[in-house]
Chain A
Amino acid sequence: MAEKASPSSNSISLKTVDGKIFKVSPAIANQMLTIQPLIKDSDSSTIISLPDVAAFHLTKIIEYLEGKPAAAPSAVDAFEAQFVKDLSPEELKGLLIAVGYLKVNGLVDLMANTVAKLIENKSVEYVRKFFGVVNDFTPAEEAKCRQEHAWAFDGVDED
């Protein structure tokens, strides 16, 4: 998982699945719980590979960890709302997977909340498409399941 690179400052090097290398401070890297144990044993020449994280996602994660206000909850709320505002559904899903893999402090809940809000009032078809789920019910099973959940099908937004 770790390989040697040219020594630099005190920073930790993270390599994304698409080959980009990011240098982050230990304070930032420590908030990614999955890589925490690797940081202790690493020196400045270590590169930690992140097989499930693309550069776009790591950029956003670092943006979140560096930008999140330390103090007032209202400031945090405003920052988080801004953070997720312009993400497309596809980006949201990718980021959820990345932060779930890295176990990023605070961001797992934020992404899960944001995805929850996105799918909450959507149709079955939208949710399938969003998660990339193959419908493995037979037509008869699906009809029965829809019948059992008939109460769930009003108030659905347009996809």
Chain B
Amino acid sequence: MSSILADLSFRMYSEPDRFKIDHFDRLPDPLILLVFNKVGDVKALGRCCVVSRRFHSLVSQVDNVIVRVDCVISDDDSNSSDSSADKANGAFSTLFRLVFGGIVKPLQALGQLLGPNRTALVSGSSSALPSSLAVGASQEDGGADQGGVTHHSPTQVLKNFCEIRLLRIELPSGELGIEDGVLLKWRADFGSTLDNCVILGASSVIQPKTGNAGDDDNYNGDDVDDNGSIPDSFYTNGGLKLRVVWTISSLIAASARHYLLQPIISEHKTLENLVLTDADGQGVLHMNSDQLEELRVKPLSASLASKRTLVPALNMRLWYAAHLELPDGVVLKGATLVAIRPTEQSPKKEPSDVSWVSTAFEEPYRTAARMLVKRRTYCLEMNSF
């Protein structure tokens, strides 16, 4: 008996080729598909397409895909190939850049380059807003302008996927150039236009100091009189102005991202959840299945100024704390939370539900938002832009 067992295991383990083929025959499609869905990364899945006919057809059934953008093509980069369109908008965009230059550049195309030679397309500014998405290596027509580099848009890269339900696109960095130490995060939900947006900012973030209790005394003065109101100095020292710039910049970034998603959404009818984020974790754009369907039925309105979705007239609520200490000891100086909704969607009576605001971010920022919404609320309005 034992000798038979030994023979069996010899046969099982000592003939590698046979072992593999035996087992591959038994590796069912659902199991391979499960592995592919865990892989997610569109480049890795692209390589799996080349493995064999069976793998090629299985990859097309993957429903969870992640597209990591290596490079963003900003407005500046695409000027050469798009000059006529730019001239029409020239005056406006110059004005636009004067106002927001250095903070934000319009994201004109979601340019994602997953291929080699990416340096050719990376502009000096990490703050450029994507103006197109390109994955990998190339567009035939634009090739000459880009020194032969070919860009693959996410639309091209995703062409063979016909059953995507969850799509996550990750830009290489946040669009907004912010100074060191400044905290700025936004989360926006879109349908055909902006549904809501939450922005959390702080002029500086102070990590807890260990064994340096004396420092706390510096802040006590601020806190004692802190009744949740905004101090007068906020209006005069540029604090408010900076918050408005953060808000507008975030909305521009979000609406430019949204604009770029349109072709992807119209081609992938099975999409149920779409997230466009960045490696810095600065901004996150979400669209759920209802919102995706809304966009398919009712196309977005584009802004005249640049390639982005028109931001509707907005109601904003703002919370501010000069000094916000989180439970883990981290202190946010000049902490600001802004909750934004289109005017026409805002509830008629004073909205008391702030749960969507306090759950917009991941920890530890979720806690910060939860603490801020307990403070006094300030309302602002903004016209469509």
Contacts and interface: CB of A to CB of B under 8 A. Distances in A.
A35 interface: no
A78 interface: no
A133 B114 contact: no
Given A18-B9, A127-B47, A149-B46, A119 B53 contact: no
A17 B34 CA distance: 25
Interface string B1-37: 1001100110010001101110110111011101111
Contacts of B4: 19
A18 B288 CA distance: 49
Nearest to B21: A132
A154 B114 contact: yes
B52 A137 contact: yes
A152 B208 CA distance: 43
Interface in A84-143: 90, 93-94, 96-97, 100-101, 108-109, 112-113, 115-117, 119-124, 127-128, 131-137, 142
Interface string B83-124: 000000000000000000000000000000011100000000
Nearest to A141: B53
Contacts of B38: 109, 112-113, 115-117
The range of chain B's interface size is 35 or more
Contacts of A101: 26
A146 interface: yes
Among A90, A122, A155, chain B packs the most CB atoms within 10 A around the CB of A155
Nearest to B112: A151
Q: Is the interface of A mostly helix, strand, loop or mixed?
A: helix
A76 B88 CA distance: 59
B135 interface: yes
B152 A112 contact: no
Contacts of B47: 122-124, 127, 149, 152-153, 156
A104 to B, nearest CB: 13
Contacts of A39: none
A133 B24 contact: yes
A54 B23 CA distance: 12
Contacts of B48: 119, 124, 127
A134 B25 CA distance: 11
A157 to B, nearest CB: 11
Given A54-B12, A108-B34, A131-B27, A152 B52 contact: no
A59 B47 CA distance: 34
Contact of A150 (B8, B19, B20, B115): B115
A151 to B, nearest CB: 2
B272 interface: no
A141 to B, nearest CB: 9
Given A54-B12, A97-B23, A124 B50 contact: yes
B365 interface: no
A135 B51 contact: yes
B283 interface: no
A152 B114 contact: yes
Among A124, A128, A131, A152, chain B packs the most CB atoms within 10 A around the CB of A152
B12 A18 contact: yes
A52 interface: yes
A152 B136 contact: yes
A33 interface: no
B55 interface: yes
Contact of A154 (B1, B116, B150): B116
A145 interface: yes
Contacts of B136: 150-152, 154
B265 interface: no
B296 interface: no
Interface of A: 17-19, 52, 54, 90, 93-94, 96-97, 100-101, 108-109, 112-113, 115-117, 119-124, 127-128, 131-137, 142, 145-146, 148-156
Interface of B: 1, 4-5, 8-9, 12, 16-17, 19-21, 23-24, 26-28, 30-32, 34-56, 114-116, 135-138, 150, 152, 156-157
Rank and list the top 6 A-B pairs by shortest CB-CB distance, nearest first: A151-B136, A132-B20, A152-B46, A116-B38, A149-B46, A132-B24
6 contacts: A18-B9, A90-B19, A119-B44, A128-B52, A149-B47, A155-B43
